[in-house]
Amino acid sequence: MTGGGADFVTHLAQSVIVGDGGMGTTLYDRGVFINRCFDELNLSHPDLVRGVHHEFVSAGSGLIETNTFGANRIKLAAYGLETKTIDINAAGVRLAREAAGSGVYVAGAMGPIGQPRRRLSLRSEQELAAAFAEQARALADAGADLLMLETFASLKQLLLAFRAARSVAPDLPIVAQATFDLQLATPAGDRPEDVVLMLEREGAVAAGANCSSGPKQLLDVARRMAAVSRLPLSVQPNAGPPQLVEGRYLYLTSPEYLAEYARRYALLGARIVGGCCGTSPNHIKEVATFIRSISGKQDLRPARIDVSGGADKAAEPSLPPVPLAQRTELASKFADPARFITSVEIAPPKGADADKTLDGVKMLRDAGIDAVNVPDGPRATARISPLALSLTIQQRLGMPAILHYCCRDRNILGMQADLLGAHLLGVRNVLLVTGDPPKLGDYPDATAVFDVDSIGLTRIATRLNHGQDMAGHALGSQTALFIGVGANPAAVDLELEYDRFARKVEAGAEYVLTQPVFDTGLLERFLAFAAPKGLPVLVGILPLASYRNAQFLHNEVPGMSIPAPVMDRMARAGEGKAGAREGIAIARGMLEAAQAMPGVRGAYIMPPFGRARAALAVLGLDDSA
């Protein structure tokens, strides 16, 4: 890449760089036997190596690592290849450069010596340092933009390699990564805090972790590193622990799951996000698309515009909000603490004809359901405007609608205008959500805006209810929006989810609808946290349609987690009507359990494929589903 190391350091300070995936496991998937020297393939099978690099570049990698992880003299000696050390490393850089073109950084990959501890102890530190220095010099001389020291099991050897590389390539940026076990320490016992602080002192441009057992574990490692250091982090996990399947080791973490964690790493301060063993080009494509989707400039902070409401931005007088019971019919029902609220999600149709959708809403209204939820482009697909459908439902059927409004598609000015317009039209029950990135739907190349996230949008709506715009300027009159937010009691990172929920409450949220819940323990834990915040909670209930439906939701939909006992019940029920009946039975059981929990004010039913009868069956109002 033009500009080399200096350009890389500048880029690192400004935005997130997507790394590549597991070179070794990808070559293994291409049929290379595990007893081969994978580094030597740079000489004997250059087209194969170049092809793997090209696949990662095509998937969206902004940085690729050379196929030289084990190309130091000591490890190559096991194959009788020590005399080819310089050739293998030089070829590794050349092949990566040919695939990278002019828009991708080439990192010279260096791994640990990796011999059994007894044999390693027989070698002097000088011998190890000489091996690292030789490899680093070869990579630098061949034109690598930076060096990537990775998968080191001890801080001692990592520092030895770092100092050796620095001695022969003083101007080349170095990124250094260790590997950690389930106790969140390196196999040698080094803590994440000690690793990152020492590398920061040594002058690494980024430090972090790779390999290990999977995405969740490295999130914990990254969090501990971020707590003590401002050094840019590099996080590249395995695709989960390997599983032996019919004689082959497979990594079962889905691309979607890895992409969700990539976002979390970036929120913690990671500036290099990629993958290690088991991460394929498909994994990296999801990571890269996810990063592009939630920020056009690859800066993953979801709220990039300040709507915090500081005193300097709120100098003009505000108006008192309209009393809750006077805002909307639904708000007045919430004002009655003895009432159990029911709402059913009805997605806008994909075509221009809403008659079937309105028939379903009429069925729900006649059955006594309190409101219908109208999601905003669910799964990022093209549908009728949720505002238009909400208005139609209220005007034609007299049924209260909860308009889902997301941050994906409009900038900050458009969002304020839409909320003011919704108030004018009488669509005043709103659920404010960040929204699914376009990558989840039919238009993965569509541009996402995300000027703010749901927390920032909640602050904006609260200000409008006080007669102010987001800049604190008086509007002369106030809106009467009934402001709801979402929460996920089964989130992968509950600490982050609880923190975001608390910030939504602080921003002015007035009720909360949860994601579908299948685990009573997780719901109880969330309610214990949420109860002191004082918001009424509508528990999300989703009747599964079949075992296949359950698998899809669990594996492919971010934020969805279906416990093994529920999956087992659906598997035993099978497909067809039997599976649908079992899904309704599970949902009924969850609803009954939720109704007995303090803090639950209602149920938010999400029937599969918009089937109104399935929602009524869960509520015990229709037995024909």
Alpha-carbon distances of 527 from 26, 560, 601, rounded to whole Å: 44, 18, 11
C-alpha–C-alpha distance, residues 146 and 134, integer Å? 15
C-alpha–C-alpha distance, residues 40 and 81, integer Å? 8
One-letter amino acid identity for 500? R
DSSP assignment letter at 302: S
pLDDT along the chain (625 residues), means of 10: 71 88 86 85 95 94 96 94 96 96 92 68 82 97 97 95 97 96 92 96 96 85 93 89 51 74 84 91 86 45 48 65 94 93 94 92 96 80 88 97 90 92 97 73 55 88 94 92 95 80 95 94 93 94 92 70 90 90 96 94 92 94 74
Architecture of the structural domain at 4-294 = Alpha-Beta Barrel (3.20)
DSSP assignment letter at 53: H
Domain boundaries, the chain: 4-294, 312-487
C-alpha–C-alpha distance, residues 223 and 216, integer Å? 11
- C-alpha closest to that of 485 among 524, 464, 457, 511: 511
DSSP assignment letter at 212: S
What is the dotted CATH code of the domain comprising 312-487?
A: 3.20.20.220
Beta carbons within 10 angstroms of residue 250's beta carbon = 14
pLDDT, tens digit, 9 for 90 and up, residues 225-240: 999 998 999 999 988 6
| Sign (positive or negative) of CA dihedral 360, 361, 366, 371 | positive
- C-alpha closest to that of 608 among 565, 568, 570: 570
The residue whose two tokens read 């439902």 is 393
One-letter amino acid identity for 39? D
Beta carbons within 10 angstroms of residue 468's beta carbon = 22
pTM equals 0.61
Q: 110 forms bridges with which residues in the sheet?
A: 149
CB 1 within 8 A of CB 102: yes
In the prediction, which pLDDT does 240 show?
A: 67
DSSP assignment letter at 432: E
- 3-state percent breakdown (helix, strand, coil) of the chain, nearest 5: 50, 15, 35
C-alpha–C-alpha distance, residues 108 and 146, integer Å? 6
Instruction: Characterize 437-464 residue by residue with b for buried, 16 or more Cβ atoms within 10 angstroms of its Cβ, and e for exposed.
Output: bbbbeeebeeebbbbbbbbbbbbbbbbb
Q: What is the DSSP track for 378-431?
A: GGG---S-HHHHHHHHHHHH---EEEEEESSS--HHHHHHHHHHHHHHT--EEE
Q: What is the DSSP track for 234-294?
A: EEEE-SSSEEEETTEEEE---HHHHHHHHHHHHHHTEEEE---TT--HHHHHHHHHHHHHH
Q: Do domains 4-294 and 312-487 have the same CATH topology?
A: yes
CB 432 within 8 A of CB 485: yes
Alpha-carbon distances of 495 from 128, 328, 453, rounded to whole Å: 42, 34, 18
C-alpha–C-alpha distance, residues 437 and 434, integer Å? 9
Alpha-carbon distances of 360 from 132, 367, 533, 559, rounded to whole Å: 68, 11, 35, 27
Beta carbons within 10 angstroms of residue 522's beta carbon = 18
In the prediction, which pLDDT does 249 show?
A: 47
C-alpha–C-alpha distance, residues 67 and 88, integer Å? 9
Alpha-carbon distances of 16 from 9, 166, 226, rounded to whole Å: 12, 24, 15
CB 205 within 8 A of CB 234: no
Alpha-carbon distances of 349 from 357, 385, 516, 522, 536, rounded to whole Å: 7, 9, 22, 33, 30
Structure tokens at 102: 């002019």
Alpha helices in 426-512 (DSSP H): 454-465, 494-507
CB 372 within 8 A of CB 399: yes
- For residue 289, what are the contacts with CB-CB under 8 A and spacing of at least 6? 60, 259, 437, 439, 444
- C-alpha closest to that of 459 among 326, 296, 305, 312: 305
C-alpha–C-alpha distance, residues 303 and 464, integer Å? 18
Q: What is the dihedral of CA 564, 568, 574, 576, to 10 degrees?
A: -50
In the prediction, which pLDDT does 424 show?
A: 97
C-alpha–C-alpha distance, residues 389 and 366, integer Å? 19
**Could you tell me if residue 80 is left (phi over 0), alpha (psi between -120 and 50 degrees) or otherwise beta?**
left
C-alpha–C-alpha distance, residues 286 and 260, integer Å? 9
**Could you tell me if residue 278 is left (phi over 0), alpha (psi between -120 and 50 degrees) or otherwise beta?**
left
CB 235 within 8 A of CB 218: yes
